[in-house]
Amino acid sequence: MSVLVIVEQRGGAWNRMSWETLVAGQQFGGPVSAAVAGQGIEGLAAELAAKKLDRVYAVTHDLLRNYTADGYTAALEQLIRKVNPSMVFFPHTYRVRDFAPKLATRFDQVLISDAVGYRQESGGPVFVRQLFQGKLNADVKPGGSGPHFASIQAGAFRADQVVEGTAPVETFTPELTAGQIRQKPEEPFRESARAVDLTAAEIIVSVGRGIKEKENIPIVEALAKALGAELAASRPICDSGWLPMERQVGSSGQTVSPKVYLAVGISGAIQHLVGMKGAKTIVAINKDSNAPIFEVADYGIVGDLFEIVPALVEEVKKAKG
């Protein structure tokens, strides 16, 4: 089954979930192409052409300079009708949530949104979606003849597994007129401020509501400092203003994949997990042995963070001499 991956750029910069979605496409098992839409995207298309793909489509038009749901839907509908893939994959971004369901209905299909994985069965592919904050997994089988549409959850595939290669670039100029586009682009929604780039950190110490109050933050700060790690947090910590918003990890914060992620007093709600489950090694400290964070942790310490964290700081300092 052939896959067309629609990757995402904004103002010439990649959304890094694009690479994860490319991996989802590459691992699907059939021929894979990718498309990037916008204006002045030749450089981005060339970057894509260095991946193992059958073809790269640079979808360009003056009316695609700024994102609009109408513009993207019309342009990508024309591309999909031309390429005729079995599957179309998107990263599950805010933008994709905006236009992809509408695009899917143009083909009498629905968008299988926020999939965390898929498997191949004799009757065709089956996608997995999480329900009730990750308590249940639901299998979704696409119906009808296709093409089928699916968006892939952040962190479901690892961007560093993208396979390099070479692919030809084809410029595709859709037929668009200004009258087709009803939206007037405004300042885009910011998924989170990026003053701190947690995505580049090798070690992250992340703190949750278990820390109880703002005055206790220096306890985990000391651990981050001892380990040479970046400090991050769950959403309630940032919502309370105990740490700045740009340190938030999760579905409405940053998606990180460090070598080590230490979750301190974090329960492991699905919105937090999607932002950090791509970490190579996860260490959790929580006094509740049933906390869901332990389901993704490689190492778990059940106990009181106010005893464990200072003891860890001492040990790290000793080990570092």
Residues in contact with ligand FAD by the rule CB under 6 A? 208-210, 234-236, 248-253, 265-267, 269, 271-272, 275, 285-288, 291, 304-306
Give the nearest distance from C-beta 305 to ligand FAD in angstroms.
4
Closest to ligand FAD by CB, 37 vs 256, is: 256
Q: What CA–CA distance (Å, rounded) separates 75 from 82?
A: 11
Min CB(316)–ligand FAD separation in Å: 18
Nearest Cα residue to 270 out of 243, 238, 292, 237: 292
Nearer to ligand FAD by Cβ, of 37 and 274: the residue is 274
Four-CA torsion 295, 297, 300, 303, nearest 10 degrees = -70
Q: For ligand FAD, which is the closer residue by CB, 136 or 178?
A: 136
**Cα(118)–Cα(107) distance, rounded to whole angstroms?**
21
Can you tell me the distance from the alpha carbon of 38 to that of 62, in angstroms, rounded to the nearest whole number?
8
3-state secondary structure of 178: helix
CA pseudo-torsion sign 264, 15, 194, 63: negative
- The CB-nearest residue to ligand FAD is 250
Please give the C-alpha separations between residue 109 and each of 61, 92, 100, 112, in angstroms, as whole numbers: 26, 17, 11, 9
Please, which residue, 142 or 265, has the CB nearer to ligand FAD?
A: 265
Report, in Å, the least distance between residue 150 CB and ligand FAD.
21
Looking at the Cβ atoms of 15 and 33, the one nearer to ligand FAD is 15
**Other CB atoms closer than 10 Å to residue 171's CB: what's the count?**
12
Q: How far is the CB of 117 from ligand FAD (least distance, A)?
A: 21
The C-alpha atoms of residue 285 and residue 308 are separated, in whole angstroms, by 8
Q: Identify which of residues 42 and 304 has a Cβ nearer to ligand FAD in the complex.
A: 304
> At its nearest, how many Å lie between ligand FAD and the CB of residue 317?
21
Closest distance between ligand FAD and the C-beta of residue 200, in Å? 19
